[in-house]
A = this chain, B = another copy of it.
């Protein structure tokens, strides 16, 4: 290979590597933001809440950085096949990570309101937040390692998160019915749970993107949607 061509190939590879590092760094930021937000709610940790909210602008800035980098890569190189899929995938993944960051910040904000109330049993929520964080960690590893098996595993395990969410939804609505003083905190907890469920969905989106980027074929057309809470009807006991 002529020396110049080799140099170009080498630096393109370095750029692709740099892109992957940018994205896994962003993933790490978002992962710790979600961990802080969950701690804020479950352990009533106001300091963690502030840190989760404050992390958001940096996550957003990284998304814009990736986008600029991608546009430069596309303009200066002529990536083909898998490289091209990888580059387009990175745009989609950062979009999902950015949304996860937004949801984490929203969870953290709501934890500040919850702080004004007596503690509930948050066992279900703690369980759910643990699973969501595991999935998030796995999918960020999967991005860095281009690991489609790990992606597939995340994609499959989202159904459990949805099930817990549905149970939590009913539980929280029942609490509300028991005492009107529960309504405000439980409403916020409903949104916290919904946000966690959405974070799980975005991890699933990323799993689909990783799979497509590596394999060149779609994981599936109809992902099982387990959140049935939109149809939930819970009647008050006295009704």
Contacts and interface: CB of A to CB of B under 8 A. Distances in A.
Interface of A: 57, 64, 67, 70-71, 74-75, 78-81, 84-85, 88, 91-92, 95, 106, 109-110, 112-113, 116, 173, 176-177, 180-181, 183-184, 187-188, 190-191, 194, 218, 222, 230-236, 238-239
Contacts of A176: 176, 180, 183, 187
A113 B230 contact: yes
Given A92-B91, A218-B64, A191 B113 contact: no
Copies in the complex: 2
A129 to B, nearest CB: 17
Contact of A184 (B84, B113, B235): B235
Contacts of A231: 109-110, 112-113
Nearest to A230: B109
A85 B194 CA distance: 34
A230 B95 contact: no
A219 to B, nearest CB: 12
